[in-house]
């Protein structure tokens, strides 16, 4: 976690923040579930949270087959190539970020779209490798500070510590 980048962002209270919808409780994950993180929801006291699900933005339904990055493609567990869906979702997430002048995104780690530090290893065995998802890469390339849910919790702690 880059604490200095987070500290720099603390002065931007009131700004808009993209947040993976599943972290806010929306049942949009591949398995039809959410991964709600109450601390991320509490960031709404400091920022305007803009929920996004790049997979849904890219045209995938919920629930859907699990997908992983395999070489330069995103494949489902059944071998279907969904790379374009993931690229389209990243495009639309970045379009929202640009149009809303967003400087920060908090995304769900381990996701082929939103992973910020870890992604699944492409074997569908549960293994993880260091890496970034398609949307996380695109948002970082466009200059956003991209955090995962643990870093989002740390951001909240710093904000609450400041008072």
Q: Considering the entire predicted model, what is its pTM?
A: 0.94
DSSP 112-124: TTT-SSEEE-SSS
Q: Please give the C-alpha separations between residue 62 and each of 29, 33, 47, 81, in angstroms, as whole numbers.
A: 7, 9, 28, 17
Three-state DSSP class for residue 45: helix
Q: Model confidence over 55-100: pLDDT tens digits? A: 999 999 999 999 999 999 999 999 999 999 999 999 999 999 999 9
End-to-end CA distance of the chain: give it in Å, rounded: 22
The bridge status of strand 128-130 relative to strand 118-120 is: antiparallel
The per-residue pLDDT for 51 is 98
Q: Model confidence over 30-62: pLDDT tens digits? A: 999 999 999 999 999 999 999 999 999 999 999
H-assigned helices in 18-127: 38-42, 54-57, 83-99
Q: Where are the beta strands (DSSP E) in 6-116?
A: 16-20, 48-52, 67-70, 73-76, 104-107
Q: Model confidence over 99-141: pLDDT tens digits? A: 999 999 999 999 999 999 999 999 999 999 999 999 999 999 9
**pLDDT tier, 15 (very low <50, low <70, confident <90, very high otherwise):** confident
Q: Which residues of 36-46 are buried (b: 16+ CB within 10 A; e: fewer)?
A: ebebbeebeeb
């Amino acid at each position: 976690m880059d604490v200095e980048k987070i500290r720099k962002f603390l002065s931007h209270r009131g700004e808009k923040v993209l947040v993976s919808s599943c972290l806010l409780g929306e049942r949009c994950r591949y398995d039809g579930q959410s991964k709600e993180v109450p601390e991320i929801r509490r960031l709404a006291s400091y920022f305007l949270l803009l929920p996004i699900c790049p997979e849904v933005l890219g045209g995938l339904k919920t629930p859907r087959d699990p997908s992983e990055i395999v070489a330069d493609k995103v494949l489902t567990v059944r071998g279907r190539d969904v790379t374009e869906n993931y690229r389209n979702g990243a495009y639309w997430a970045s379009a929202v970020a640009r149009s809303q002048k967003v400087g920060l995104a908090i995304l769900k780690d381990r996701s082929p779209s939103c992973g910020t530090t870890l992604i699944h290893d492409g074997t569908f065995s549960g293994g993880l490798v260091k890496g970034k998802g398609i949307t996380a890469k695109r948002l970082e390339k466009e200059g956003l500070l991209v955090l995962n849910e643990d870093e989002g919790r740390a951001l909240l702690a710093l904000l609450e510590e400041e008072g």
